[in-house]
Homo-oligomer: A and B are copies of this chain.
Amino acid sequence: MDGTDLLTLIEGNGDAPEFDPGMSDEELLYCYGTMLTVRAFDDICLKLQRGGRIGFSIPNKGIEATQVGAASAMRKSDWIFPSYRDFGMALYHGVPPVQMMHNMFGNAEDTTRGRQMPVHFSWTEPIHFVSISSPIGTHIPQAVGAARAFQYRGEDHVCLASFGDGGTSSIGFHSALNFAGVWKAPVVFLCQNNGWAISCPSDEQTASKGYAIKAQAYGMPGVTVDGNDLLAVRQATLEAVARARAGDGPTLIEALTFRMGGHSTSDDPSKYVPKEQLEEWAKRDPVTRMQRYLERRGIWTQAVEDRILAEAQERVAEAARIAEHTPRPGLETIFSDVYADLPAHLRKQGEAAFDLAKRKGDAVAGGGEFPL
């Protein structure tokens, strides 16, 4: 098996013949609700950005099944090394939307203290959702290192490293998969092939036959899964996680999906994404697919939909309201957390900054805009 066969469990019409996910109705509805929450979060962020109230966001439309499906295979004691497009993983594990919104507004309650751009989340609770970094691929070898720490202590926890198709070209991808292969480290590598890396299509990213096949270069199994099929992603991840927990080493999963929005709120994909491609993928919407599945299973009705959706929308709207009215971080946050202790030269620089603010008032924010 070279990883190029596609695993699909839910068909387009919602049928999942002969597959029992082993999940309760509640669990299934929770997954579905999380997908709707991702979409609601996405929508409101787009509006906030268009209204100039936040600077930037990252559309998630189209890839909700991959995120939620993968996250649902992880335990709270596992660590997630996410990409910036993994809202659903955080939501699934119970990060309150308001915490996410604090980050979107970069305010004083943001766990990153407003130091990072929006969508660069960091949490240790309720799951280790490791501080997102902008440079592509750097987190992948870190996941391997963290996994090695589990191994060393004899713990059966697993790291999930999530990245895009573009991320496979990074140096971190190569180092990480190579080390993980040699170490048989308990890591699951999740490549979310969403068709594009900003404006670079997958076939200009690599000449290989898909991404799962790259696993062969590192002596680990590679599997391709329908990324718009929550159950398939979940299943593939569960299997990979089980292998990792059992000490059998890493797996590379390629989830085939599609970025239905722009790369970010500053990107205009109509300049480069062919209309037909977009239309084609719109037909495979992961939320609709899941909805149909739940309907066949007899647990979806329009009333259920309305309730879940309204709840999701209200949760994120309320979160945005709170976050918007939370003050911005204090001046001292520029200087803290550079080191465990504040070194003398930073103390001096900080004192000078406070002194300036006292004498001349606060600095004036510029009008710069984020381009991408």
Chain A residues near B (Cβ < 8 Å): 2, 169, 171, 173-175, 178, 181-182, 184, 204-209, 213-214, 216-220, 249
Measured between C-beta atoms, what is the minimum distance from A126 to chain B in Å?
34
A181 and B206 contacting across the interface, CB-CB below 8 Å:
yes
A182 and B209 contacting across the interface, CB-CB below 8 Å:
no
Query: Can you show 16 pairs from A to B with CB atoms below 8 A apart?
Result: A2-B2, A169-B175, A178-B206, A182-B204, A182-B205, A182-B206, A184-B207, A206-B217, A206-B218, A207-B219, A207-B220, A208-B217, A213-B216, A213-B217, A214-B216, A217-B217
Bound: A184/B204 CA distance, A: 11
Q: Please name all residues of chain B whose beta carbon is closer than 8 Å to the beta carbon of A178 when the two chains form the complex.
A: 169, 206-207
Number of copies of this chain that the complex holds: 2
Interface of A is mostly: helix
Considering the complex of A and B, which 6 residue pairs feature the smallest CB-CB distances, nearest first?
A: A207-B219, A181-B207, A174-B174, A217-B217, A171-B171, A214-B217
Bound: A173/B214 CA distance, A: 14
Measured between C-beta atoms, what is the minimum distance from A356 to chain B in Å?
35
Q: Which of B2, B171, B182, B219 is the one whose CB lies under 8 Å from A174? A: B171
Q: Please name all residues of chain B whose beta carbon is closer than 8 Å to the beta carbon of A213 when the two chains form the complex.
A: 216-217
Q: Which of B173, B174, B184, B216 is the one whose CB lies under 8 Å from A216? A: B216
Bound: A10/B277 CA distance, A: 53
Measured between C-beta atoms, what is the minimum distance from A188 to chain B in Å?
16
Bound: A182/B169 CA distance, A: 11
Most chain B beta carbons < 10 A, residue from A173, A182, A205: A182
Using CB atoms, name the residue of chain B closest to A183: B207
Q: Please name all residues of chain B whose beta carbon is closer than 8 Å to the beta carbon of A209 when the two chains form the complex.
A: 216, 219
Measured between C-beta atoms, what is the minimum distance from A142 to chain B in Å?
16
Bound: A205/B174 CA distance, A: 13
Q: Please name all residues of chain B whose beta carbon is closer than 8 Å to the beta carbon of A220 when the two chains form the complex.
A: 207
Bound: A217/B212 CA distance, A: 9
Measured between C-beta atoms, what is the minimum distance from A206 to chain B in Å?
6
